[in-house]
Copies of this chain bind each other. A is one copy, B any other.
Protein backbone atom coordinates (compact mmCIF):
# COMPACT_ATOMS: atom_id res chain seq x y z
CA UNK A 1 0.00 0.00 0.00
CA UNK A 2 1.25 3.43 -0.93
CA UNK A 3 1.01 5.89 1.94
CA UNK A 4 1.07 9.46 0.69
CA UNK A 5 3.33 11.74 2.66
CA UNK A 6 2.01 14.76 4.56
CA UNK A 7 3.45 18.26 4.76
CA UNK A 8 2.36 20.54 7.60
CA UNK A 9 2.55 24.24 6.73
CA UNK A 10 2.51 27.05 9.29
CA UNK A 11 3.90 30.57 9.68
CA UNK A 12 4.04 33.54 12.02
CA UNK A 13 2.63 36.27 9.78
CA UNK A 14 -0.85 34.74 10.06
CA UNK A 15 -2.87 32.49 7.79
CA UNK A 16 -3.91 35.33 5.47
CA UNK A 17 -0.34 36.49 4.72
CA UNK A 18 0.82 36.25 1.08
CA UNK A 19 3.91 34.31 2.23
CA UNK A 20 2.03 31.23 3.46
CA UNK A 21 -0.06 31.18 0.28
CA UNK A 22 3.17 31.21 -1.73
CA UNK A 23 4.48 28.31 0.36
CA UNK A 24 1.31 26.27 -0.22
CA UNK A 25 1.61 26.86 -3.95
CA UNK A 26 5.32 26.01 -3.89
CA UNK A 27 4.82 22.48 -2.55
CA UNK A 28 1.47 21.58 -4.09
CA UNK A 29 1.68 18.13 -5.65
CA UNK A 30 4.64 16.98 -3.53
CA UNK A 31 2.46 15.51 -0.77
CA UNK A 32 -0.81 15.92 1.05
CA UNK A 33 -0.84 19.42 2.54
CA UNK A 34 -2.33 20.54 5.84
CA UNK A 35 -2.19 24.19 6.93
CA UNK A 36 -2.43 25.10 10.62
CA UNK A 37 -1.47 28.72 11.20
CA UNK A 38 -2.12 31.65 13.55
CA UNK A 39 -5.27 33.69 12.91
CA UNK A 40 -3.25 36.94 13.18
CA UNK A 41 0.37 38.13 12.83
CA UNK A 42 2.71 36.76 15.51
CA UNK A 43 6.03 38.24 14.43
CA UNK A 44 8.66 38.54 17.13
CA UNK A 45 6.97 35.85 19.23
CA UNK A 46 10.15 33.78 19.58
CA UNK A 47 9.49 30.28 20.85
CA UNK A 48 6.35 31.25 22.75
CA UNK A 49 3.74 28.69 23.74
CA UNK A 50 0.32 29.33 25.23
CA UNK A 51 -0.06 27.82 28.68
CA UNK A 52 -2.18 30.30 30.63
CA UNK A 53 -5.23 30.22 28.38
CA UNK A 54 -6.96 27.72 26.12
CA UNK A 55 -6.60 27.73 22.35
CA UNK A 56 -9.24 28.10 19.67
CA UNK A 57 -8.97 26.45 16.28
CA UNK A 58 -11.36 26.45 13.35
CA UNK A 59 -11.30 25.22 9.80
CA UNK A 60 -11.08 27.81 7.04
CA UNK A 61 -11.53 27.48 3.31
CA UNK A 62 -9.06 29.93 1.82
CA UNK A 63 -6.62 27.62 0.01
CA UNK A 64 -8.33 25.94 -2.92
CA UNK A 65 -9.05 22.33 -1.92
CA UNK A 66 -6.52 22.22 0.93
CA UNK A 67 -7.44 21.50 4.53
CA UNK A 68 -6.57 24.56 6.60
CA UNK A 69 -7.13 25.66 10.19
CA UNK A 70 -6.57 28.98 11.89
CA UNK A 71 -5.75 29.05 15.59
CA UNK A 72 -5.52 31.60 18.36
CA UNK A 73 -2.09 30.20 19.25
CA UNK A 74 1.52 30.96 18.47
CA UNK A 75 3.44 29.26 15.64
CA UNK A 76 4.80 26.67 18.12
CA UNK A 77 1.25 26.06 19.38
CA UNK A 78 0.14 25.45 15.78
CA UNK A 79 2.62 22.59 15.39
CA UNK A 80 1.42 20.99 18.62
CA UNK A 81 -2.25 21.41 17.65
CA UNK A 82 -1.63 20.02 14.16
CA UNK A 83 0.03 16.90 15.50
CA UNK A 84 -2.34 16.22 18.40
CA UNK A 85 -5.74 17.35 17.15
CA UNK A 86 -5.68 17.58 13.34
CA UNK A 87 -3.37 14.78 12.15
CA UNK A 88 -3.19 12.55 15.26
CA UNK A 89 0.34 11.69 14.10
CA UNK A 90 3.53 13.36 12.98
CA UNK A 91 3.62 14.88 9.49
CA UNK A 92 6.55 13.82 7.30
CA UNK A 93 7.75 17.40 6.95
CA UNK A 94 6.92 20.72 8.60
CA UNK A 95 7.61 23.89 6.65
CA UNK A 96 7.12 27.36 8.05
CA UNK A 97 6.85 30.70 6.25
CA UNK A 98 7.45 32.11 3.80
CA UNK A 99 8.33 34.82 6.30
CA UNK A 100 8.08 38.43 5.19
CA UNK A 101 11.57 39.56 6.25
CA UNK A 102 14.94 38.05 7.17
CA UNK A 103 15.48 35.43 9.85
CA UNK A 104 19.20 35.23 9.17
CA UNK A 105 21.88 35.67 11.85
CA UNK A 106 20.57 36.20 15.41
CA UNK A 107 17.10 37.03 14.08
CA UNK A 108 16.42 33.31 14.38
CA UNK A 109 16.23 33.81 18.16
CA UNK A 110 13.23 36.16 17.89
CA UNK A 111 11.54 34.38 15.03
CA UNK A 112 8.12 32.80 15.29
CA UNK A 113 8.67 31.25 11.84
CA UNK A 114 11.76 29.43 13.06
CA UNK A 115 10.21 28.55 16.44
CA UNK A 116 7.51 26.59 14.61
CA UNK A 117 10.19 24.71 12.68
CA UNK A 118 12.13 24.15 15.90
CA UNK A 119 9.04 22.86 17.69
CA UNK A 120 8.64 20.33 14.88
CA UNK A 121 12.31 19.31 15.15
CA UNK A 122 11.89 18.89 18.93
CA UNK A 123 9.10 16.43 18.18
CA UNK A 124 11.25 14.56 15.68
CA UNK A 125 9.68 16.00 12.53
CA UNK A 126 12.04 17.16 9.73
CA UNK A 127 11.50 20.91 9.43
CA UNK A 128 12.45 23.94 7.34
CA UNK A 129 11.78 27.62 7.91
CA UNK A 130 11.72 29.89 4.84
CA UNK A 131 12.14 33.65 4.91
CA UNK A 132 12.33 36.20 2.12
CA UNK A 133 14.39 39.35 2.62
CA UNK A 134 11.47 41.58 1.68
CA UNK A 135 8.98 42.95 4.22
CA UNK A 136 6.54 44.19 1.59
CA UNK A 137 3.01 42.77 1.41
CA UNK A 138 3.50 42.87 -2.37
CA UNK A 139 6.87 41.09 -2.31
CA UNK A 140 7.74 38.93 -5.31
CA UNK A 141 7.77 35.32 -4.06
CA UNK A 142 8.80 33.73 -7.40
CA UNK A 143 12.35 32.88 -6.35
CA UNK A 144 11.32 31.94 -2.80
CA UNK A 145 8.71 29.51 -4.16
CA UNK A 146 11.30 27.87 -6.42
CA UNK A 147 13.71 27.45 -3.49
CA UNK A 148 10.94 26.18 -1.19
CA UNK A 149 9.86 23.61 -3.77
CA UNK A 150 13.40 22.30 -4.32
CA UNK A 151 14.32 22.04 -0.64
CA UNK A 152 10.97 20.66 0.55
CA UNK A 153 11.19 17.94 -2.10
CA UNK A 154 14.77 17.13 -1.10
CA UNK A 155 14.01 16.86 2.62
CA UNK A 156 10.77 14.94 1.99
CA UNK A 157 12.83 12.40 0.04
CA UNK A 158 16.04 12.27 2.09
CA UNK A 159 14.93 13.45 5.53
CA UNK A 160 17.19 15.25 7.99
CA UNK A 161 19.07 13.87 11.00
CA UNK A 162 16.74 13.55 14.02
CA UNK A 163 16.12 16.86 15.85
CA UNK A 164 17.73 19.04 13.19
CA UNK A 165 16.13 21.66 10.97
CA UNK A 166 17.05 24.20 8.29
CA UNK A 167 16.91 27.99 8.43
CA UNK A 168 16.54 29.09 4.80
CA UNK A 169 16.72 32.77 3.84
CA UNK A 170 16.13 33.93 0.28
CA UNK A 171 17.63 37.16 -1.08
CA UNK A 172 15.46 39.93 -2.50
CA UNK A 173 16.27 39.43 -6.17
CA UNK A 174 14.86 37.88 -9.33
CA UNK A 175 15.32 34.25 -10.38
CA UNK A 176 17.80 35.51 -12.99
CA UNK A 177 19.86 37.48 -10.46
CA UNK A 178 19.90 34.55 -7.98
CA UNK A 179 23.36 32.97 -7.77
CA UNK A 180 22.26 29.67 -6.17
CA UNK A 181 22.11 28.13 -2.69
CA UNK A 182 24.86 27.79 -0.08
CA UNK A 183 25.08 25.84 3.18
CA UNK A 184 26.11 28.42 5.79
CA UNK A 185 26.59 29.13 9.44
CA UNK A 186 24.52 31.52 11.56
CA UNK A 187 26.00 35.00 11.14
CA UNK A 188 26.99 37.17 14.04
CA UNK A 189 25.27 40.47 14.65
CA UNK A 190 23.19 42.49 17.02
CA UNK A 191 20.35 44.97 17.09
CA UNK A 192 21.21 48.51 18.03
CA UNK A 193 17.99 49.34 19.76
CA UNK A 194 16.52 52.54 20.82
CA UNK A 195 13.08 53.70 21.79
CA UNK A 196 11.03 56.47 20.24
CA UNK A 197 9.27 57.87 23.30
CA UNK A 198 6.01 59.74 22.71
CA UNK A 199 3.19 61.16 24.86
CA UNK A 200 -0.36 59.86 24.53
CA UNK A 201 -3.31 62.32 24.47
CA UNK A 202 -3.39 62.16 28.28
CA UNK A 203 0.28 63.12 28.50
CA UNK A 204 1.52 59.67 29.55
CA UNK A 205 4.68 58.33 27.90
CA UNK A 206 4.78 55.27 25.65
CA UNK A 207 7.78 53.77 23.89
CA UNK A 208 8.13 52.38 20.37
CA UNK A 209 11.06 50.05 19.86
CA UNK A 210 13.20 51.09 16.91
CA UNK A 211 16.47 49.52 15.93
CA UNK A 212 18.97 48.80 13.23
CA UNK A 213 20.75 45.51 12.68
CA UNK A 214 24.52 45.59 12.94
CA UNK A 215 26.33 42.83 11.10
CA UNK A 216 29.46 41.69 12.92
CA UNK A 217 30.48 38.58 11.04
CA UNK A 218 33.31 38.71 8.55
CA UNK A 219 33.31 34.97 7.82
CA UNK A 220 32.57 34.27 4.16
CA UNK A 221 30.28 31.35 5.02
CA UNK A 222 27.89 33.27 7.29
CA UNK A 223 24.28 33.53 6.14
CA UNK A 224 24.40 37.33 6.15
CA UNK A 225 27.38 37.36 3.81
CA UNK A 226 26.07 34.93 1.21
CA UNK A 227 22.67 36.67 1.18
CA UNK A 228 24.42 39.97 0.40
CA UNK A 229 25.77 38.28 -2.74
CA UNK A 230 22.32 37.10 -3.88
CA UNK A 231 22.74 33.51 -2.72
CA UNK A 232 20.08 31.68 -0.72
CA UNK A 233 21.46 30.75 2.70
CA UNK A 234 20.73 27.35 4.24
CA UNK A 235 21.82 27.09 7.89
CA UNK A 236 21.47 23.64 9.49
CA UNK A 237 20.18 24.20 13.04
CA UNK A 238 20.26 22.28 16.32
CA UNK A 239 19.01 23.38 19.73
CA UNK A 240 21.57 22.23 22.26
CA UNK A 241 22.61 25.66 23.57
CA UNK A 242 25.36 24.30 25.82
CA UNK A 243 28.59 26.31 25.50
CA UNK A 244 30.84 23.25 25.69
CA UNK A 245 34.12 25.18 25.69
CA UNK A 246 33.00 27.37 28.57
CA UNK A 247 31.68 24.27 30.34
CA UNK A 248 35.18 22.76 30.45
CA UNK A 249 36.69 26.11 31.38
CA UNK A 250 34.34 26.67 34.34
CA UNK A 251 34.81 23.12 35.62
CA UNK A 252 38.50 24.02 36.00
CA UNK A 253 38.39 27.65 37.10
CA UNK A 254 35.36 27.46 39.42
CA UNK A 255 36.48 24.32 41.23
CA UNK A 256 36.33 26.09 44.61
CA UNK A 257 32.59 26.72 44.13
CA UNK A 258 31.70 23.28 42.85
CA UNK A 259 31.05 19.92 44.40
A164 in contact (CB, < 8 A): yes
A150 with B257, Cβ < 8 A, contacts A106-B122, A183-B251, A240-B186 known: yes
A49 within 8 A of B: yes
Whether a CB of chain B sits under 8 angstroms from the CB of A85 is: yes
Question: Which of A182-215 touch B at CB < 8 Å?
Answer: 182-186, 188, 190-191, 193-195, 197-198, 204-209
How many chain A residues touch B (CB < 8 A): the figure is 83
- Whether the Cβ atoms of B45 and A48 lie closer than 8 Å is yes
Chain B positions within 8 Å of A41 at CB level:
52
Give the Cβ gap from A124 to chain B, nearest Cβ, in Å.
8
| B contact residues around A237 at 8 Å (CB) | 241-243
CB of A246 within 8 A of chain B? Answer: yes
A77 CA to B47 CA, complexed, in Å: 15
Contact status A206-B51, CB under 8 Å: no
A47 contacts which chain B residues (CB < 8 A)? Answer: 46-47, 109-110
Contacts of A167 in B (CB 8 A): 241
A16 CB within 8 Å of chain B? no
Q: State whether B55 touches A44 (Cβ < 8 A).
A: no
Q: Which residue of B182, B239, B259 is within 8 Å of A106 (Cβ)?
A: B239
One digit per residue, 1 when the CB lies within 8 angstroms of any chain B CB and 0 when it does not, for chain A 107-148 equals 011100001001000111000000000000000000000000
Report how far A241 CA is from B205 CA in the complex, Å: 37
Q: Which 5 A-B pairs have the closest CB atoms?
A: A180-B259, A46-B47, A46-B46, A236-B246, A238-B243
Q: Which residues in A have some Cβ–Cβ distance to B below 8 Å? A: 41, 43-52, 54-57, 76-77, 80-81, 83-85, 106, 108-110, 115, 118, 122-124, 150-151, 154, 158, 160-161, 164, 167, 179-186, 188, 190-191, 193-195, 197-198, 204-209, 231, 234-244, 246-247, 249-251, 253-254, 257-259
